[in-house]
Structure 1
Amino acid sequence: MMAPKFPHKPPTPPLLDRIFDYVAYHAQKKPAQDALVMDNVRYNYQELSHKIDDIARGLLAHGIKKGDRVATLSPPHPDFFLTFLAAASVGAIWIGLNPRYKINEYRYLLEDSGISFIFTFSRFGNREFLPELEQLKREFPAIKEIVILDEINVQGETSYLSKFIQHGKGVNNTALRMARESVDKMDPAAIIYTSGTTGAPKGTMISHRGLCVVFRNQISYWGTTPLRMLNFLPINHIGSLGDAACFSLIAGGTQFMMEKFDPEKSMQIMQDEKITLWAGVPTTFQMCLALNNFSEFDLSHIQLIAFGGASPSRELVDKLLFLQVPFSNTYGQTETTSTVTYVAPTFDLEEVTGTIGKSVPEYEVRIMDKSGQEADIGETGEIQVRGTFVMLGYWNRPEATAEAFTPEGWLHTGDSGQKLPNGNFKYIGRIKEMFKSGGYNIYPLEIEAIIEKHPDIEAAVVVSVADELYGETGVAFVQAVNGRVINIDHLSRHCSDLLANYKIPKRFIVLDELPVLPIGKFDRKLLKKQAKNLIPH
């Protein structure tokens, strides 16, 4: 058996002001190295720089100004990151649109954010996007243009990427430079939507400084030499934009994108492309390990296994010990621009499965009890974070932003945890009802609002139950309108029409009457207990 090995850390680049500054930095340092790869599409750093300039000129030629919102509807594909970097480089605020969303979800985001420009693929899987987007363009006159990223013959109010880039040829170097010089390090680079207590998604504004600080620091924990990693996460998720794409860019690594996660294909890429950092949510590791031919893949180039989104089980880690590489575990959220605590690469299995590690030295992380005092060692309280890297606030929601921070600038994460005697933090759970399924944040109130749109539903409560594969899954308790009979198949189709599939409860349970507390609120604790007893383990 080979001896355990620790990853070879790459040199840490300087802290630059804007996320797009790292494109020029690495284009000068390593122009011929691959930066973005997917199947037969490969961009080295020099090509990446040129392509981003072309798209940025196109945006300026179409009247995009600093502060305008530019969206990309795409799976994890190199074009998503190209359009993000180009938009951010001219001061626009980028928004990722998940191709799994339904049209009503796009409608909400358009109305809330005021998106004025959309890049899109014409189709994903069997779904055609152009008819839906052209309908939305008619509903939202603020949308200046829809640009198709894949070159196909279509009719309608859309243009090809090549035509769009050609239109930008008239923008000179001075205009491009002036637009970029106007971008400040504390300007928002992206809006990432995440639901809150109202159930309606809120736009989390992420700054250039936040992206640069957080994912530069990540090199100290996740850096490998060379850095070669997969990105299969949805582009509207901080994990895709930040932990994979921005991290790989800042580190000068190579990012291999997959339009959707496929266990066998990911293993094939890891073997063929000599992936050095195997990162993902625990569910994706379980799915890979479950392959009948898993043992046939050569994974000898892996230097580090890193978990995000949820802590791994001891059983999962035990199955990966044969690789003889260290493990890392993390904690963070969208509002903190992702990771704020790390288990540094280790072979200590208790630490990687039972803690979320220590905070990055320059970050401020504390545990506060219900009385507003800092909790004692080992005492459970709310995890709070402070620093210039945290979100700028929620888009167009000053009251929600004010509620998210203490007067001293500490961010309320809404998560509970403990600080242990050895300095590590332990994650306890969500203070409110949000849960994670397969790495996705699931917000019950959002789902309940959709269920209650069904004419036969009087009320709904969604709770989570443990699931071996996904970590947690949703169970919906529903109460019928008087005199109505609930058809579960119809209700499931109703949800499927209005929600991304990962949000749909895995089981619906009909009750004559939902239990309530004396103050009139639904008794979620009782329903969660009932769900646990009803679902076989």
Structure 2
Amino acid sequence: MSENFNSLPELVRVRAAEIGTNLAFKDDNTEITYEELNQLSDSFAIGLISEGLEFGDRVAIWAPNSINWIVCAIGIQKAGGILVPINTRMKGNEASFILNKSEAKFLFTEDSFLGINYIELLEKEKLNNLNKSFILNPVSESVQYKFSDLLNINSSINLPIIKGEDYADIIFTSGTTGQPKGVIITQKQNTQVFKFWSKYVGLNQNDKYLIVNPFFHTFGYKAGWMSVIIIGCQGYPEPVFDSEKVLEKIEKFNISMLPGPPTLYQSILTSKNLTQNKIQSLRLGVTGAASIPVSLIKDMKEKLGFETVITAYGLTESTGVATMCTPEDDYETVASTSGKAIADVEVKCIDAKGNDVNVGEQGEILIKGYNVMQSYYKDPEATAETITADGWLKTGDVGILDQNGYLKITDRIKDMFIVGGFNAYPAEIENIFLNHSSIQQVAIIGVADERMGEVPKAFIVKNKNDDITAEEIILWAKDNMANYKVPREVVFLDELPTNASGKIMKYKLRT
């Protein structure tokens, strides 16, 4: 099949011409061929433009995995819009920050998912630029604006030509400042990185790919459904990870490709319903995002039957990928390293003075290549702090490169920790907590957890004479932040340990 494409809209049209009658995606509600995917996303793009979308406008999707999510994302980009995915675990105040920061013109969301009406979560929020919100998969008949309303617009509108250098998406990530920053990636960066990724992991046209990773994340979006289209195989979007349902689908649809965080495979391995006949079709596994025991890699191959298991490392700022193990690497290498730099990308480690460190020595990881983001959206200061004058991306992660170029992640300068595959940023969680009237100071750290890898722990200085309890703090957190950010433990202190400049010394909280 052709690899002659530099944008997602171009890719979809090429595949429709080549394998139009082939099944592209199937979820619990519907299925769609490559030709239908192309036609529906064209219709939707025309509908968006008729609604007032102009080239370069931002459009947000705040919804779980579904076929309509894919059609919507492709249509946004065909219309010349820039996709802004929003984490479905976010509360209204967190989502409104992203909507306002990105200046999103339209929002596509859900009126009911796991008992949540996302429109209601935004009712009290001030949204400065949002023109209209549409429901992707309506449950209520009284929904005012539906995604489907935009699919049947009679218009003579010509869709714009989307080029490789045009902006494709702005995915928000957080850093030490605590405020999410929008990472701008182009069409060509997305297609080039995941052409390489898809072929490197061994994905082929006969594969059936169960996409459990959320579409709001690079892993579910670009390494997920976009890679399905790049290879021309079949994708099965799954809105919620449930190990029993996943086992059923593996058996029912002969699923061969199943990437995910280590917790996904651990849940399957401990399922009471796990039998060899249910998983005999499994072939490819890709994981990362947390420290991985060698025994898990061994079990994935020997108990789950994966032919290939690889780990990888990347950031949203590196289009999701920077290093990858090879399918031939042994268990120890796959578990303890994140592989080597992908083709046409450089990785190095530097010391505090900016000098390259020797092989085997720790240093901050820097990345350079075609995968490095364009910038943070409307944040030149943060961009300049993150990308050096000669094009190196400063990751804030600490690692070691061995003599073969394999990267081992050893620490995180930014204090970020990973909860069941989700990046948790202490400064962001701390900023939310400081909205609580009883809290004077707060520090968040990650602590080891057998099931999730790491979980948040909060150290709080409360106002004098305030009798709020740890249980009340945790209940408040559950209402005000995504669940993976909610501390599992709260410790009250009279004061937080600080240095001479007033900076909290978190290493003292970890001891």
How would you bin the TM-score normalised by the shorter chain? over 0.9
Q: CA deviation at 1:122?
A: 1.6
SS in 1 for 2:334: helix
Q: CA deviation at 1:508?
A: 0.6
The aligned amino acid for 1:146 is S
The 5 Å alignment of 1:48-447 reads 48-133=37-122, 136=125, 139-140=126-127, 142-155=129-142, 158-166=144-152, 168-172=153-157, 175-176=158-159, 179=160, 181=161, 183-225=162-204, 226-295=206-275, 297-322=277-302, 323=305, 325-346=307-328, 348-447=330-429
SS in 2 for 1:330: strand
The question of whether the paired residues in 2 share the 8 Å contact of 1:434 and 1:441 is answered with: yes
The aligned amino acid for 2:164 is K
Distance across 1 between alignment mates of 2:388 and 2:198: 30
Q: CA deviation at 1:278?
A: 2.2
The question of whether the paired residues in 1 share the 8 Å contact of 2:6 and 2:192 is answered with: no
The aligned amino acid for 1:518 is A
Structure 1, 493-502 or 362-371: larger mean CA deviation: 362-371
> Partner residue of 1:524?
506
The question of whether the paired residues in 1 share the 8 Å contact of 2:43 and 2:150 is answered with: no
Distance across 2 between alignment mates of 1:325 and 1:55: 39
Q: Is the aligned partner of 1:450 residue 2:435?
A: no
Q: CA deviation at 1:222?
A: 1.5
Q: CA deviation at 1:40?
A: 3.9
SS in 2 for 1:147: strand
Structure 1, 321-330 or 410-419: larger mean CA deviation: 321-330
**Residues 157-188 of structure 1, C-alpha deviations (whole Å, 9 max, x = no match):** x322332222x22134xx22xx2x1x331221
The question of whether the paired residues in 1 share the 8 Å contact of 2:164 and 2:187 is answered with: yes
The aligned amino acid for 1:197 is T
> Partner residue of 1:6?
none
> Partner residue of 1:482?
464
Q: CA deviation at 1:144?
A: 2.2
Distance across 2 between alignment mates of 1:481 and 1:135: 27
What is the number of residues matched between the two proteins? 508
Structure 1, 305-314 or 282-291: larger mean CA deviation: 305-314
**Residues 67-113 of structure 1, C-alpha deviations (whole Å, 9 max, x = no match):** 10111121011111111111111211111123322111122112211
Distance across 1 between alignment mates of 2:427 and 2:421: 18
The aligned amino acid for 1:98 is N
SS in 1 for 2:358: coil
The question of whether the paired residues in 2 share the 8 Å contact of 1:53 and 1:86 is answered with: yes
Distance across 1 between alignment mates of 2:290 and 2:200: 17
> Partner residue of 1:43?
32
> Partner residue of 1:8?
none
Distance across 1 between alignment mates of 2:414 and 2:306: 38
Distance across 1 between alignment mates of 2:174 and 2:4: 31
Q: Structure 1 residues 132, 171: CA separation in 2 closer, same or farther (over 3 Å shift)?
A: farther
The aligned amino acid for 1:150 is N
Instruction: Structure 1 unaligned segments of length 5 or more: list them.
Output: 1-10, 530-537
Distance across 2 between alignment mates of 1:457 and 1:135: 23
TM-score (norm 2): 0.95
TM-score (norm 1): 0.91
The question of whether the paired residues in 2 share the 8 Å contact of 1:304 and 1:345 is answered with: no
Q: Which has the higher contact order (CA 8 A, sep 6+)?
A: 1
The aligned amino acid for 2:75 is A
Q: Percent identity?
A: 31
